[in-house]
Structure 1
């Protein structure tokens, strides 16, 4: 990241930590062999791989035997639904109404081809999943409940432990099996994560969200013992216990392990630093609002990850000029070397699509309010000294009537 760059889109991706990069470089040189090989170099690669598996397990307080390496969050999330539908054809799947596309779209596709029934649980007005409403949507045919731990756009923390408790109670009462999955892509490195406290069966891990490389992992409770269903997406050499064929990407997985270790070591300090940056940013943004405009911070009255502020700039009724659109404001700030997001970097921006972030649609925030919405996310390398410049630029560009397309 260059010194002149003001990067505030950490929820989209994080820069690779220098220590992580050094571990990857070392593994490229020293652990280059096939970890399935019986040769001494193969043994070294295998040891590197298993060290990484241990490090990944430790960051979520799991057993390394329950960690499966994947290419990233999309594959991990897809594997969960694939496994459930292989084990329970035609299953009823229950999602929150603000899941990442890598959870929502496979479920929708399965429903379209008649392989599943999919229902979405609503959010509360403050942005978290409504646990009571979700529990009311459970049926004897429900086989999977998927609720992300930290919402990727708003940063709101869902009470996944409460969701799991409601699911377990229903399953016991009806003598059925219901599996619980959480996509923790936006949680690791921002809040403590403990699979036993959450009581989940599956948990998705994404390295590039916490200063690691673009690989990931899937936690599967009792994986090696066959306690929780899992089916391979493709067949081949039998790597990862036969669940994921293909020679493992040892250097990048070593980097993932190191990123997890760094996260464990630095979590408390990182949380404190991010929380302070977001509090300073939101206070300055509200304080410097020009006459006729105000800021709505979404999820402000509930628990949020310390890294994230999703806010909308709106004009008062007495103001003739509306703020520019989210997309226009992001473009204007980029010209100034300030990089922010308008929602999930993975969401479709197709022409004619509803431009509101998924979470704001689910919260039933009107389009007029969501018209100028930014996701501002900080991380390990964000600096307080940059915030006044960023706040001034946001207000200057948001309320200017001149479009970048005409200058």
Structure 2
């Protein structure tokens, strides 16, 4: 029921929405909301200079086709197109370092679906800069870099946040896009289910002698998977999972010794290889918030969930959150509803939480199935891959899943404006 007093209080807010976290999900959400006429304050702990660095540091993302549609609809894609590498094929194999792959494999060819490439590889520096440029030129967004939210209060008709500058901002809704260690979630009392895998990802980019032809490779080895993902030119992004102890030892090596450890795992199919950019590591684990919402608060992306990169779905799952929440809030605004009302936020949670939990469980199960040298499990997974490869309908289903084309897709992921 419409409440004129509540409506008047909401109109007195400083902004419609506060987003804490100025990473890829936070900036994408700010753009999606502002483009529908909402006012957004984006609170970003990092400085603009830190976000806009132009040197290649090795970080890249696999953007599913549905995520590319979101970026296209938000007007970001023209700034990225020239630097995006289409992923035309995905080859999945099983084996041991230095022994070559098993004869059982999966080959996903984009030609088996009508929509186009399954996705694109984009360097972090290009994607982050394009989003920040759009934020700077989009009316309705107030960007507060080098600033943190230190307190939040949801008593009353809205939410009030206190910033590290001492300023306070009132809004109808606070959105946490501030990562796995989300202060927004912690201050709201939202607990997390989480565990580690005793695995660490070694991440870098390499230059190689031969062209990759737009093919992405996933090679499963007992310590963890090795992903070789095509970048523009004769370069590829490497996400190499090892046990935490081995990863620490390998990462401490010189560049030359590091490559000597990578080569038997990588193979010779792309010719000679060399490092192109920095090396870094991050621990692997699963994290899922017990709730994606609280009074006048919603969580998206890593603040709501974090999963193993085995399927390359981390950023894509976060952009699904962005698209779903933006659509729910846009529809609520058009109906004259309070953006922070429990009924509005519950629609978002119902849309996203089951899908996210299912994806987290799937990545967890795949990692446990493939990251071992158990001969019985090795036999079972090799037979399973061979079976999927031999059944076109199953294969196309996996291709559509990799492209992000399955499930109840929000409008932005279908390439439709809100």
The TM-score range, normalised by the shorter chain, is: under 0.3
Greater fraction of residues in strand = 2
Q: TM-score, normalised by structure 1?
A: 0.26
